[in-house]
Amino acid sequence: MDSYSSDMIPVSFVAGPSGGWRVTRIAAVRGESLPVAARLDRMEGLLSRQLTGSPWTLRGVTSHGRYMTAAEKVTLEEVQPGLGRREATRAALIPITKSPRWWALSQDERRAIFEEGSHHIRVGLEYLPAVARRLYHSRELGEPFDFLTWFEFPEASTEAFEALAGRLRETEEWRFVEREVDIRLSLD
């Protein structure tokens, strides 16, 4: 039944013995971790069931921005790089789940925490174009996480990426994150 319009990209992150990315670390930031895996594949399309030998598969789909204003959208689109840059040999997959309290907030309350309180967009912009980023939505798919964020960056930008992740985790918005796993990967 999947017939996504061309502006929506479905994805399945398949952990297992094979896959294009080597998993260098899986760490629980908050809540339960994910089982260890040697490698990870980022496959476009929604797998309807777990592949044999894969300890976990996470699914999501890109969608329209939920908080960005028109001006922020223009700025972001001007500077954000695409995925698959030759020099981007490091990646991070960060699945998060927000609390019921977050989802019970109204749109204006969530936007105020997201940007006016936490500067999520503004902070992210500071690390562009070094760190490419793609957000996948999972909540509507009945997945265990609400969002999967995929980051790609050159090895030399690893520290910049750590700084970005660290700053976001200190924000007001992050107080609503009840589960977060930090998965690091290398293209070798």
d(CA 115, CA 161): 19
Q: Which of 51, 123, 141, 163 binds a copy of itself (CB under 8 A)?
A: 141
For the CB of residue 176, give the shortest distance to a copy of itself in the complex, in Å. 12
How big is the chain, counted in residues? 188
Degrees, nearest 5: CA angle 145-148-150: 160
Is 72 a binding residue for a copy of itself by CB under 8 A? The answer is: yes
Question: Which is closer to a copy of itself, CB of 43 or CB of 105?
Answer: 105
Q: Which stretch binds a copy of itself (CB under 8 A): 22-30, 36-44, 59-67, 120-128?
A: 59-67
Q: Does 163 bind a copy of itself (CB under 8 A)?
A: no
Q: Which stretch binds a copy of itself (CB under 8 A): 36-44, 63-71, 155-163, 164-172?
A: 63-71
Among 66, 87, 156, 162, binds a copy of itself (CB under 8 A): 66
Interface with a copy of itself: number of residues (CB under 8 A): 41
- Close Cβ partners of 182 (under 8 Å, ≥ 6 residues apart): 25, 26, 27, 28, 29, 92, 94, 165
Q: Which residues contact 140 (CB under 8 A, 6 or more apart)?
A: none
Q: How far apart are CA 8 and CA 20, in angstroms?
A: 23
Which one of 36-44, 49-57, 83-91, 162-170 is the stretch in contact with a copy of itself (CB under 8 A)? Answer: 49-57
188 neighbors 40 (Cβ within 8 angstroms)? no
When asked if residue 125 is in the footprint of a copy of itself (CB under 8 A), the reply is no
121 is a site residue for a copy of itself (CB under 8 A): no
Contacting range for a copy of itself; rule: CB under 8 A; set: 24-32, 70-78, 121-129, 168-176: 70-78
User: CA–CA separation, 178 vs 147, rounded Å?
Assistant: 12
CA atoms within 13 A on the CB side of 89: 6
Distance between CA atoms of residues 27 and 70, nearest Å: 36
| The one among 42, 59, 179, 184 contacting a copy of itself by CB under 8 A | 59
